[in-house]
Amino acid sequence: MSGVIKTLPIEITVNGRRRTLEVAVHHTLLDVLREDLELTGTKECCLVGECGACTVMVDGRIVDSCLMLAVEADGAEILTVEGLARDGHLNPLQQAFLDKGAVQCGFCTPGQLMAAQALLVENPHPNVAEVQEGLAGNLCRCGCYYQIFEAVLSVAEAGSR
Amino acid sequence: MSASSIGSSPNRVGGIGRVSGLQEYVADVRLAGVLEAKLVTLDCARAKIISIDTSEAEQVPGVRLVMTAADLPQPMPRFGPQLEDRPVIAVDETKYHGEPVAIVAADTKDAAEEGARLVHVEYEELPAVFTLAAALDPDAPLVQDPSLRPKDPLASTNVLREHHVDWGDIEAAHADVVVENTYSFPIVTHFAIEPHAFIAAPDDNGIAVWSSIQHPYWLQRILAKLLDLPLSKVRVLAPDPGGAFGGKQHAKYEPLVAFAAIRAGRPVRLVLSLEQTFQAVRRAATEIRVRTGFTIDGKLAFQDIKADYLIGAYCDIADRVVGKGSYPGAGPYNVPAVRIFARSILSHTTPSTAFRGFGNPQVNWAVESNIDEGARVLGIDRLEIRLRNLARKGDPFIPFDTPADGDWEQTLRRAAEMIEWGKPLAPGHGRGIALGIKSGPTTGLSYSTVRLLADGSVAIYAGTSDMGQGARTIFAQIAAEELGAPLDAIRVVMGDTAIVPYDQQTSASRSTVLMGNSVLKACSSIQAQIRTMAARLHGIDESAITVERGVVRLPGRELRLMEVLKPGLGKLGGELIGNGETRKDGDADHPLGGAAAFFELNCTAVEAEVDEGTGDISIVRHVTVSDVGTAINRLQVQMQDEGAAIMGLGHTLMEHFIYDETGRIRNLGAIDYRIPTTMDLPLEMRSETIENADGPGPYGAKGMSEGALLCVAAATAAAVREATGVAIRDLPLTPERVWRALRERGGRANAGTNDDGES
């Protein structure tokens, strides 16, 4: 690095709001969400795409935001944990995580929620094995995996009624 | 009157912030003018620092501070919870892979990173010791300068301290069968998903320090001493840790960041990478030799235990881990003669520290496995041998400690039932059962303040750290119960030493009992004030009034607490304030400095299936049963037990640090260090509690949260042993290790019945 940081303009829609930004070309989407947009709900942990704490949705698909350069997200629609609740009401997944005890320290929770949200968009009625597989990239060291499965399945079931 | 929440599962207090992304962890704290810091480290285990050139780094635009040992007070200030042996920053020599030699603070992370890259360190790599054998070699380099431990005869060795616990006469004990084996437990790391993070800022002629720390008041003391400030001028803010597990108990880089902030005159934030977090905290590896004597009828005649713990380059709390972790090594059994000899061995590795289970899982793994070996030799069922030796309630199973404080047989029998002990097994399957015990807190001091506000809502001030265990919810449930307030009208304030009264620490599964009792006392004080109010309002003698669980009972009628509070406070309003204190003083003559406030007792039973072709272990069913006295919040208890069980499966099946030949950690980071994911879980997890309301905490609660981790390894290895006939005495039980053991065994354990490939 030479001291002069190259930047490029991008335009992204984050949680429904259009943002025009000048971002450093080497900054990840995670950097830009957390630093430039102060959306710190998305968490930083391993930075190698293994822990899932930084999971967001980009154009409806699940992405480890630590592995995507912000410039690659130009023009994309991004959903972060802050965008799940509507009008001050938790969305069904968030409520289910609370009700089923799928949250302990909470640090992995935003990533778990986003991965679960993406899973349900793709497969509204997953079985346990599919939930397990869908969340395999999201580590929870507190170990409330079973409660997370239960939360996701309860939302899927409610959706089918 | 609202129904009691005690024993039910109301939603987590603080849960909404956690699911909405609004919960603020240290890395999320917004602070004007904060500088971002990066550490400069060397890629070797041990080095002599010859020179550090910071000039190029200082030229990087945006870099505001480059600090090395030379910029700190001389002699270098040192700190630590047990020994003051850890320098604020490495001076002259680095002693473990990743120990910082300089810190760079800049306007942006980019500039700090660039600056850190341009700090030029001239150093000479020195020979390092990073195994027990190497550290104990008479010619080994000394990890610690002997001048740090004057008058200590061990100062000229790498043995930091020796711990002895003895009762009965081992030499005179009669045994018909003696089984002796050596077991090993690897180095594992906490891997909290939140990497450690610290901020320091000059504040009101003093300093404010944010840290994701479990013991904010201990950190406050350490900083006050290092910076020569009164306690009142050191404000520690401790946002809820994003997982801690013991790794965030004690000061690590807070002093360094504090000195940097003072020097820069601005706030400085350091967020470690996950790799640096791995280099900052870990569990002690341990080698345990156990000699167990049995009489022919399966009674334990003696336990002779020698445990060497490989601790790191600085003591941190590791020596206490060794002492307290080995102490209940003989287990929850009546053993007439016991000799436990444990040593803390220094090495050029990351300072080992507290980690869920606090040194107990290591010795438990060996001793429980050895009991199984004895049972096999004697031809006694493994459940039966435990039943024959298990301490019954009131038995002085450790002669100088709290007697057995639960119906432990109930726990053991329930777990056996849940794993269907004794029922026929499918081919290739095996079962294991083991007991774990851990001494609870030996000392404690927890203050709390509870304010009953004019509208009946409540604010609780309690200095516990809520790191996921759910302490907030428990305290809120207690206040809801006692003061009749709805749970969602209760605020629990934690994590600020300038506002919240003193709490000794959040460790040893203490908070429900010690802080819980403190909150209960604060509520009782408010109840007493309500009683006085009611007497005044109704012109009745106080002795005719009782207040409990939110209800005021006067002769012939009952009132809700609010019905007294509102008229009692009158026109000016105001509030009632109650203070609570729980004190458990130490006992200088006790081997641990105090008897256990309670014991954590768990039984884990596992059914496993082993793939003989690959060595892969699949956990078919995992049963964990804990004696918790009373589960104040049922779901939280279940989550803590299941989480501990899964964490235990981590060190049992997959986790370990791998070092290269020079002492560098080779598997730093999430790609090469694996913890259980959704794909590694038992096919079935069943957790239950035994509740006889016989604990010292509120409503008969005992501490819990660590128990379900203690004996996972022994139960799992026993299941593998039964499935395959192979006894493995080194953890983790990776497929490769199991596969190699099977190759050495030759043949097949269940030949022809479960053949899914080559034999």
Among the partner residues B61, B470, B639, nearest to A3 by beta-carbon distance: B61
**Is residue B622 domain-resident?**
yes
pLDDT band at A160 (very low <50, low <70, confident <90, very high): low
Two structure tokens written together for B136: 């104990």
- Phi, psi (5° rounding) for residue B100? -70, 145
Cα–Cα distance, B542 to B532 (Å, whole number): 6
CATH assignment at residue B534: 3.30.365.10
**Is residue A1 domain-resident?**
no
**Is residue A137 domain-resident?**
yes
Q: Are residues A133 and A97 in the same domain?
A: yes
Cα–Cα distance, B696 to B399 (Å, whole number): 20
Q: Are residues B240 and B347 in the same domain?
A: no
- Phi, psi (5° rounding) for residue B584? -125, 105
User: Among B678, B679, B687, which would you mutate to test the A interface (most chain A Cβ atoms within 10 Å of its Cβ)?
Assistant: B678
Residues of B in contact with A136 (CB under 8 A): 677-679
Q: Are residues A76 and A97 in the same domain?
A: no
Q: Are residues B105 and B234 in the same domain?
A: yes
Residues of A in contact with B642 (CB under 8 A): 143-144, 146-147
* 3-state DSSP assignment of residue B376: helix
B622 touches chain A (CB under 8 A): no
Q: Are residues A62 and A104 in the same domain?
A: no
Q: What is the pLDDT of residues A5-16, one digit of tens each?
A: 899 999 999 999
Side chain identity, residue B284: A
Residues of B in contact with A108 (CB under 8 A): 193, 242
Residues of B in contact with A53 (CB under 8 A): 193
pLDDT band at A4 (very low <50, low <70, confident <90, very high): confident
* Residues in CB range of B640: below 8 A, 6 or more apart: A104, B469, B470, B704, B705, B708
* Residues in CB range of B669: below 8 A, 6 or more apart: A46, A48, A50, B274, B275, B278
Residue identified by tokens 């009745």 is B540
Cα–Cα distance, B479 to B632 (Å, whole number): 12
B633 touches chain A (CB under 8 A): no
Q: What per-residue confidence (pLDDT) applies to B758?
A: 31
Residues in chain A: 161
- Domain holding A44, by residue range, is 7-83
Closest CA to B223 of B233, B213, B214: B233
Using the 3D structure, point to which of A83, A110, A137 is the last residue of a domain.
A83
* C-alpha distances out from residue B740 to B319, B388, B399, Å: 35, 35, 43
**Is residue A12 domain-resident?**
yes
- Domain holding B551, by residue range, is 15-21+444-584
**Is residue B163 domain-resident?**
no
Closest CA to B713 of B434, B313, B379: B434
**Is residue B186 domain-resident?**
no
CATH assignment at residue A40: 3.10.20.30
Q: Are residues A96 and A65 in the same domain?
A: no
- Are B454 and B565 in contact, with CB atoms under 8 Å apart? yes
Closest CA to B357 of B134, B602, B548: B602
**Is residue B146 domain-resident?**
no
Please judge whether A104 and B468 are an interchain contact, meaning their C-beta atoms are less than 8 angstroms apart: yes
Two structure tokens written together for B248: 């965030």
Number of independent structural domains in chain B: 3
Rounded to a whole number of angstroms, the CA Rg of chain B reads: 27
Q: What per-residue confidence (pLDDT) applies to B355?
A: 98
Indicate the angle between helix axes B712-724 and B634-653, nearest 10 degrees: 50
Query: To the nearest 10°, the Cα dihedral for A43, A48, A51, A52?
Result: 60
Q: What is the pLDDT of residues B7-44, one digit of tens each?
A: 999 999 999 999 999 999 999 999 999 999 999 999 99
Q: Are residues A78 and A105 in the same domain?
A: no
Please give the angle made by the CA atoms of B190, B196 and B197, to the nearest 5 degrees.
Answer: 170
- Are B77 and B264 in contact, with CB atoms under 8 Å apart? no
Q: Are residues B270 and B314 in the same domain?
A: no
CATH assignment at residue A124: 1.10.150.120
Half-sphere exposure of B343 (CA within 13 A, CB side): 17
**Is residue B51 domain-resident?**
yes
Q: What per-residue confidence (pLDDT) applies to B89?
A: 98
- Are B198 and B254 in contact, with CB atoms under 8 Å apart? yes
CATH assignment at residue B48: 3.90.1170.50
Cα–Cα distance, B151 to B157 (Å, whole number): 13
Q: Are residues A106 and A139 in the same domain?
A: yes
Residue of B nearest to A85 (CA): B20
Please judge whether B114 and A1 are an interchain contact, meaning their C-beta atoms are less than 8 angstroms apart: yes
Two structure tokens written together for B709: 């981790």
- Are B412 and B387 in contact, with CB atoms under 8 Å apart? yes
Side chain identity, residue B434: A
Q: Are residues A43 and A105 in the same domain?
A: no
Please judge whether B638 and A48 are an interchain contact, meaning their C-beta atoms are less than 8 angstroms apart: no
| Burial of B156 (C-beta count, 10 Å sphere; 0-12/13-18/19+) | exposed
Two structure tokens written together for A146: 């079973």
Distance from CA of B273 to the nearest CA of A (A): 7
- Phi, psi (5° rounding) for residue A64? -80, 110
* C-alpha distances out from residue A21 to A24, A35, B19, Å: 10, 12, 27
Please judge whether A105 and B675 are an interchain contact, meaning their C-beta atoms are less than 8 angstroms apart: no
| Burial of B373 (C-beta count, 10 Å sphere; 0-12/13-18/19+) | buried
| Burial of B46 (C-beta count, 10 Å sphere; 0-12/13-18/19+) | buried
Mean pLDDT of the A53-74 span: 98
Residues of B in contact with A35 (CB under 8 A): 109
Two structure tokens written together for B604: 């884990």
Q: Are residues B106 and B252 in the same domain?
A: yes
Q: How far apart are the first and last CA of chain B?
A: 68
Q: Are residues A37 and A104 in the same domain?
A: no
Query: How many helices (H) and strands (E) would you count in chain A?
Result: 5, 5
Beta bridge partners of B206: B203
Q: Are residues B357 and B392 in the same domain?
A: yes
Number of independent structural domains in chain A: 2
The reported pTM is 0.97
Side chain identity, residue B700: G
Q: Are residues B630 and B718 in the same domain?
A: yes
Mean pLDDT of the A90-103 span: 97
- Are B485 and B527 in contact, with CB atoms under 8 Å apart? no
B 29-58 residues with CB < 8 A to A: 30
Q: Are residues B520 and B532 in the same domain?
A: yes
Two structure tokens written together for B634: 């049922």
Global ipTM = 0.97
pLDDT of A159 above 80: no
Beta bridge partners of A62: A57
Q: What percent of chain A has pLDDT over 90?
A: 93
Q: Are residues B580 and B599 in the same domain?
A: no
Check residue B751 and report its DSSP letter.
T
Two structure tokens written together for B84: 């003051």
Indicate the angle between helix axes B735-745 and B712-724, nearest 10 degrees: 40
Q: Are residues B316 and B432 in the same domain?
A: yes
Distance from CA of A103 to the nearest CA of B (A): 7
Where chain B has pLDDT below 50, the residues are 1, 750-759
Q: What is the pLDDT of residues A42-61, one digit of tens each?
A: 999 999 999 999 999 999 99
Whether a cis peptide bond, with omega within 30° of 0, leads into B75 is: yes
Cβ neighbours of A51 (radius 10 Å): 29
Cα–Cα distance, A76 to B609 (Å, whole number): 47
Using the 3D structure, point to which of A63, A83, A103 is the last residue of a domain.
A83
Q: Are residues A110 and A146 in the same domain?
A: yes
Cβ neighbours of B50 (radius 10 Å): 10
Using the 3D structure, point to which of A59, A83, A107 is the last residue of a domain.
A83
Cα–Cα distance, B233 to B204 (Å, whole number): 7
Cα–Cα distance, B204 to B335 (Å, whole number): 58
